[in-house]
Structure 1
Amino acid sequence: MIHHETLRGFLAEDAPFGDQTTQAVVPMTDGRAAVIAGDTGVVAGIAEAIILFSECGVEARALAGDGDWIDPGQQILDISGPVHGILLAERTVLNLMGRMSGIATATKRFSSLIESVMPGARIAGTRKTAPGLRFFDKKAVMLGGGDPHRYTLSDAIMIKDNHLALVGIEEAIAKARAVSRFRVIEIEVETPEDAMTAASAGADALLLDNMNADSVKETVALLEAHDLRKNVFLEISGGITPANAGSYEGCGIDLVSSGWLTHSVKNFDFSLEMRMALRVIKL
Structure 2
Amino acid sequence: MYIPDSYLDELIASDIPSGIDLTTHVLGIGAQLGRMEYYTRDAALLCGTEEAARIFGRFGCTVVEALPSGSMLAPGDVFMTVEGPAAGLHMGWKICLNIFEYYCALATKARQMVDAVHAVNPLCEVLSTRKLMPGTKPFDVKALTVGGAFPHRLGLSETVLVFEHHLTFYGGLEKFIADVPQLKAKVCEKKLFVESSVEDAARLVEAGVDGVQLDKVAPEQVAQLVPQLKAINPHVTLIAAGGVNLGNAAEYAATGVDGLATTCLHFAKPLDMSVRMSTL
Question: 8 Å contact 1:46–1:62 — kept in the other structure?
Answer: no
1:20 is aligned to: 22
CA distance in 2, matches of 1:233, 1:102: 30
Deviation at 1:140, TM superposition (A): 1.0
Aligned runs of 1:1-283 on 2, under 5 Å? 1-17=2-18, 18-28=20-30, 29-167=32-170, 168-169=172-173, 171=176, 173=180, 176-191=183-198, 193-224=199-230, 227-248=231-252, 250-262=254-266, 264-276=267-279, 278=280
CA distance in 2, matches of 1:60, 1:129: 31
The one-letter amino acid of 1:202's match is: G
Deviations 1:61-116 (A, max 9, x none): 33311101011111111111111111111111011122221111111111111112
The one-letter amino acid of 1:82's match is: P
Structure 1: gaps of 5 or more residues? 279-283
Deviation at 1:153, TM superposition (A): 1.1
Structure 2: gaps of 5 or more residues? none
Q: How has the CA–CA distance of structure 1 residues 176 and 270 changed in structure 2, closer, same or farther, with 3 Å as cutoff?
A: farther
TM-score (structure 2 length as normaliser): 0.91
Q: How has the CA–CA distance of structure 1 residues 205 and 59 changed in structure 2, closer, same or farther, with 3 Å as cutoff?
A: same
* Matched length: 273
Deviation at 1:50, TM superposition (A): 0.5
Task: Tell which deviates more after alignment, 123-132 or 245-254.
Answer: 245-254
Q: How has the CA–CA distance of structure 1 residues 175 and 22 changed in structure 2, closer, same or farther, with 3 Å as cutoff?
A: farther
CA distance in 2, matches of 1:259, 1:109: 15
Question: 8 Å contact 1:50–1:61 — kept in the other structure?
Answer: no
The one-letter amino acid of 1:190's match is: S
CA distance in 1, matches of 2:102, 2:51: 12
Percent of paired sites with the same residue: 27
Q: How has the CA–CA distance of structure 1 residues 201 and 100 changed in structure 2, closer, same or farther, with 3 Å as cutoff?
A: same
Deviations 1:29-61 (A, max 9, x none): 121111111210210001111011112221123
Question: 8 Å contact 1:220–1:229 — kept in the other structure?
Answer: no
- CA RMSD, 1 decimal: 1.8
1:50 partner SS: helix
Q: How has the CA–CA distance of structure 1 residues 229 and 62 changed in structure 2, closer, same or farther, with 3 Å as cutoff?
A: farther
2:161 partner SS: strand
CA distance in 1, matches of 2:15, 2:256: 47
